[in-house]
Amino acid sequence: MELEVIKKLATMARVDMDEMEMQEIADSFGPILSYVGQIQEISENGGNRENLIDNVPHNVLREDIVTNKGGEYTDKILGQAPKIQDGFLKVKQIL
């Protein structure tokens, strides 16, 4: 795979990495994609989703109501945040 493609992927995935590693990843993608690509040869028959999903829960929803007291977990959760201010997460200015 082209190094340029890997660079784009790294930007989309928001992962900063050096060019040497990107080249390594580019080299490893060939064998991986050719291995997983073997599924292209399968003609699709069967595998009817409707037959399969009746035995598992799907699209499980709950009522859209507040289940905890306001601020109940705020301190605990914000305690893990790198930067906070007045009970909010603090991020770099974006405008």
Partner 1 sequence: MKINLIDLTIEKAHNSLLKDEYTVLDLANAYLAVIKEKNEELNAYLEIFYTDIIKQAEVAQKMFQAGTSTLMTGIPIAIKDNILFEGHIASASSKMLENHVAVYDAFVIKKLKMEGVVILGRTNMDEFAMGSSTQTSAYGATRNPHDMTRVPGGSSGGSAVAVASDMALVSLGTETCGSVRQPSSFCGLVGIKPTYGSISRSGIIAMGSSLDQVGPMGKTIADVEILYNAIYGHDILDSTSLSDKFRRTVLGEFKGQSFKKRIGVPREFLKGEGINEEVLKNFDESCQKLKNLGYEIVDVSSDMMKYSLAVYYIIMPAEVSSNLARYDGIRYGLSVDASNLYDVYAKSKGQGFGKEVRRRLLLGTYILSHGYYDAYYNKALKVRDMIKEELLNIFKDVDVLITPTVPFPAFKLGEKMDDPIAMYMCDIFSAPANLAGIPAISIPSGKTVDGLPLGLQITAPYLREDILFSIGKDFEKRV
* Positions that interact with partner 1 (CB under 8 A): 5-6, 9-10, 12-17, 21, 25, 28-29, 31-32, 35-40, 42, 44-49, 51-52, 55-57, 60, 62, 73, 76-77, 79-83, 89, 91-94
Smallest distance from partner 1 to CB 67, Å? 9
Task: Annotate 59-87 with DSSP letters as a single string.
Answer: S--------S-TTTTHHHHHTT-SSEETT
Residue 14 CB, nearest distance to partner 1 (Å)?
Answer: 4
Nearer to partner 1, 47 or 87 (CB): 47
Least Å from the CB of residue 40 to partner 1: 7
Name every residue whose Cβ is closer than 8 Å to that of residue 76 and which is 6 or more positions away in sequence: none
Distance CA 32, CA 60 (A): 34
CA atoms within 13 A on the CB side of 26: 17
